[in-house]
A and B are shown apart, each in its own frame.
Chain A
Amino acid sequence: MLRNKGIAFKLVLLFTLSSACIFAAIFTYNYFVSRQMIEKEIKENAGNLIMTTTNRIEAMLSAVQKVPENIAYFLENSTNDEQELFQVLYAIVENNPEIYGAAIAFEPYGFKKDKEFFAPYFYKAFGAMNFKYLDKHYNYFLWDWYQIPREIEKPQWIEPYFGEGGGIIMSSYSVPFYKKVGGKRRIAGVIVVDISLKSLRDIVSSIKILKSGYGFLISKNGTFVTHPLKEFIMNETIFTIAEARDDVKLRDVGRKMIKGEQGIAPMWVKSAVTGKSCWMAYVPIQSSGWSLGVLFPQDELMEDITSLNQIVLFLGITGIILLGVAVVFIAGSITGPLRHMAKATEHIGSGNFDIELPPVKTGDEVGKLSEAFSFMKESLKEYIRELTEATASKERMESELKIAHDIQMSILPKTFPPYPERTEFDIYATIKPAREIGGDFYDFFFTDDEHLCFVIADVSGKGIPAALFMALTKTLIKAKATMGLTTDNIISRVNEDLCIGNDMSMFVTVFCGILNVKTGEVQYTNAGHNPPLLIKRNGDVAYLEKSGELLVGVMEGVQYTARRIMLGRNESLFLYTDGVTEAMNERDELFSEERLKKELSKDQERTVDQVIHAVMREMAEFTGSTPQSDDITMMMITYKGSL
């Protein structure tokens, strides 16, 4: 899919993707590291804040605790003097501004044998000191402040409660006191002091974390003693909030808080005020078993880092966009010329060399390519022009060769039968040059009324030089033959003439014969030519013996010899050039003299032209598609006998 997209597209895609990945990695790392740093700072700050707050609360509570503890110690060894008790109680409430009221409550009949209830109670109300006995209507034995320390025999802070008249949240610190009865130390009652939690609430309420963070205090039961939301106070516990939110983790944290543990609940705690995610640090108030919680709104803590990250993110995205634009530009500067060149190539391919190439503006690879392309275009243009010219001149030469061929062919006798009025013999000849013009030729003519001179020759080489040499040879032979010379003399003289000025060292094999049409006698000279075949009347076919004489045009002063044979009635001579016997097929086998001889032995009733055509067909069959490599020339004379 991607493979077929353009370079520009791939570049943009890969660059932006990879740079986006790099950016994302940097951004993420930056985010987490800076977040960790901030979290660490928060923990330190929170630690300090919480420490200060809890210290203040502890100081306040422990100051209160000492008062009843001292009285308990005092009561253990005192006599039950009512007056003395009153003075002590009065002094406690009078002298301790944070103490709202105090009572010393005795066990049933513990103060005096006749008194089930004895509990003097001094308390501040309406700006004055008040006093009352807690009696059977109040039945203090059933109240937490009495029952709990009595049953567990330990001083206790009891659960906060609304003071009389409501509004003020109070708590009480109760301390059991003992007396020795009959040597045994037995619990004798409980001393209780009531304090308003207002100042404590003020301390906690003063906790302000950033914009919406806050602190809260829960009692040992998890009840909210202070909270920014008024409806939470004394009405909800951290566990009812957890239940309402169906938040098991909050419940677990609540349990840790009331067990006096210390810790930080990360992120998932929701602010009851804003609903935002908060970190919540919690720390116990050791003396009362209460717990202080402080909420740090996550987003406010992270505000700076969030805005920093937003800027970083913005910069990053802008950077990637700019990078993308730059890549598009760069890719365009590469692919633009390439596209242009691709188009130009199409034009050039279709032969339009005049197309404008994009101007070379740069020295880079694209510029160099463009330059090379331009050079290539010019070279091609030049080459094509030269090629056109060469082709034109070749065509001209070819047409000239054609003409030459026509002329060459025209100098060979072409009309068969050539002498219709002569019945003494039949003659037929054919030539098939390997190239446009060949070096073979044949000829026949009457030197006088009785003698028919016939020639077959093969000039060394081919083409125009061979053709010219052949024309020359043919003319010389005809000229000499018509002088009435014998064949040996004819060839000797032609040899003399050809040797003169034969700088090209061309030569020719010639078979020249003269048939006496009256007698059937054939006088011949074979100058290096393939020996013709003699076809007897009885069907025997045989090669004439080889002459062993030199080629014509090789050496001056050579004497050739003439030989004689007699042709009987209907006996024939078959002449040919080596193009026949040396014709090759695909397997590089020669047509050979054997095959030729066999072909000629076939049928004795054929006319000369039929025989030659048959040999031609046989050769064509043998060579198949193998191109002809040499001129093929054949001539056949059948002597019919004179009248």
Chain B
Amino acid sequence: MHNKSRTRSHPIIVFLFPALAAMLLAFATGALYAGEALKNVSFIPHWSPQAQFAGYYVAFEKGIYRKYGINLDIKMGGPHSVPVDLLEKGEADFGTVWLSTAIQKRSQGVRLVNIAQIVQRSALMLVAKKGRGIARPEDINGKKVGLWRDEFRLQPMAFFKKFDLHVKIIPQSYSVNLFLRDGVDVASAMWYNEYHTIISSGVNPDELTSFFFHEYGLNFPEDGIYTLEHNFKKNPAGACNFAKASIEGWLYAFKHPEEALDIVLKYMTTANVPANRVHQRWMLSRMKDLVLPEDDKSITAGTLTKQDYLRVAGELRRNGLIGQEPAFDDFYKECVKYAEK
């Protein structure tokens, strides 16, 4: 009995800025920092190594962080290393956190700031077998639905409410085996992970009905880069350099997927995590869809829009998970504003 899982969250800090500008600035800053002493910085991803974090490993391996004057230490993520905890304790300077988690943590008093919103779209989805008679949201009514806990329930619950669905919720564990063996009709899945696990267990995509929340007005951006507010204030440019370098790493990974996979698999092997290249390739290409959605040109890599922020915060408030919505400007630090200082 084994498996993956998702993320906890905490609030605050932001940044927005165009990918191209990031690339251009990257070279400029690279030169700028060439002669200076590198700054020691640590980073904690919210899960063990996998392509979900390819951008950071690639940026590190390709020397992009050093180019930005950062001597980075990537800490091993996993179920026992929760980024928000490490940030709070000062054991890490930067970490990845889900937006909904971060907003909750911020409202609970952890002064997180978002300096880059990496994942623009929800990878969280519901998946069902067509063979069980589910083709549209209405078909879910009265069915057994496997749901994860906490923030993984926000969107599904809002979705059920939206379509007035009454379902039997089954707590979903770490595997999708219950779904595969028809113990539930609908399962939660991360698009880049469990969905492919289902495909890799012999179910064909055309046998599945997929419900992507962003298609139903329930887009919750997920992974973002966070630091503590006082750290950010001490050195906004340094924080933003980390964000920029990370984005540059992502862009490089998308452009050179096989090289990125080699890097990711190397980290997975080191971490003694089962490493399946096909699965990681799927994950990386889905990450590209989530970080740089091709069908929406208005999205800029690394940017958190106020609209997305308010949607998530509002949903949290309505569910009583936060009292008041933290101010957007306090929560998100748009890195373009802090460049080169």
Contact = CB atoms under 8 A, between A and B. Distances in A.
Interface in A112-163: 141-145, 147-148, 150-152, 156, 158-159, 161-162
A161 B201 contact: no
B180 interface: yes
A151 B144 contact: yes
A255 interface: yes
Contacts of B178: 144, 147-148, 151
B86 interface: no
A222 B201 contact: yes
Contact of B182 (A152, A159, A241, A254): A152
A39 to B, nearest CB: 28
A239 B2 contact: no
B278 A235 contact: no
B275 A243 contact: no
B170 interface: yes
B202 A255 contact: yes
Contacts of B270: none
Interface string B258-295: 00000000000000001111110000000000000000
Given A151-B183, A237-B201, A221 B177 contact: yes
Nearest to A152: B183
Contacts of B278: 236, 240-241, 243-244
B1 A144 contact: yes
A223 B202 CA distance: 10
A145 B1 contact: yes
Size band of the interface chain B makes with A? 20 to 34
A238 B202 CA distance: 8
Interface string B168-180: 0011111101101
Given A221-B201, A254-B202, A258-B202, A143 B1 contact: yes
Contact of B279 (A148, A156, A234, A240): A240
Contacts of B173: 142-144, 147
Interface string A354-366: 0000000000000
A235 B201 contact: no
B184 interface: yes
Given A148-B181, A151-B183, A235-B275, A221 B170 contact: no
B28 interface: no
Given A144-B173, A162-B2, A235-B275, A240 B200 contact: yes
Nearest to B274: A235
A237 B200 contact: yes
Interface in B1-15: 1-2
A151 B184 contact: yes
Contacts of A258: 201-202
A236 B278 CA distance: 9
Contact of B177 (A159, A251, A254): A159
Contact of B180 (A142, A162, A221, A243): A221
A239 B183 contact: no
Contacts of A254: 202
B202 A222 contact: yes
Interface string A8-51: 00000000000000000000000000000000000000000000
Nearest to A163: B1
B264 to A, nearest CB: 15
Given A159-B177, A240-B279, A147 B274 contact: no
Contacts of A223: 201
A15 B2 CA distance: 73
B199 interface: yes
A13 B177 CA distance: 69
A251 B174 CA distance: 25
Contact of A239 (B172, B174, B200): B200
A152 B184 CA distance: 9
A617 B79 CA distance: 143
A288 B144 CA distance: 25
A244 B277 contact: yes
Interface in B147-193: 170-175, 177-178, 180-184
A147 B177 CA distance: 10
A158 B173 CA distance: 14
A220 B201 CA distance: 8
A423 B324 CA distance: 178
A144 B200 contact: no
B174 to A, nearest CB: 8
A150 B146 CA distance: 14
A239 B144 CA distance: 27
B276 A240 contact: yes
Contact of B171 (A142, A162, A238, A255): A142
Contacts of B183: 147-148, 150-152
Interface string A208-238: 0000000000001111000000000011111
A148 B177 contact: yes
Given A159-B177, A222-B200, A236 B184 contact: no
Interface in B113-171: 144, 170-171
Given A161-B1, A221-B201, A235 B276 contact: yes
A151 B170 CA distance: 9
Interface in A48-72: none
20 contacts: A143-B173, A144-B173, A144-B177, A148-B181, A150-B183, A151-B170, A151-B178, A151-B183, A151-B184, A152-B182, A161-B1, A161-B2, A221-B200, A221-B202, A237-B200, A237-B202, A239-B202, A244-B277, A244-B278, A255-B204
Interface of B: 1-2, 144, 170-175, 177-178, 180-184, 199-202, 204, 274-279
Interface of A: 141-145, 147-148, 150-152, 156, 158-159, 161-162, 220-223, 234-241, 243-244, 251, 254-255, 258
Given A237-B201, A239-B199, A254-B202, 5 more contacts: A144-B1, A144-B173, A151-B178, A161-B1, A221-B177
The 8 closest A-B pairs by CB, nearest first: A151-B183, A221-B201, A142-B173, A240-B278, A235-B274, A239-B200, A244-B278, A243-B278
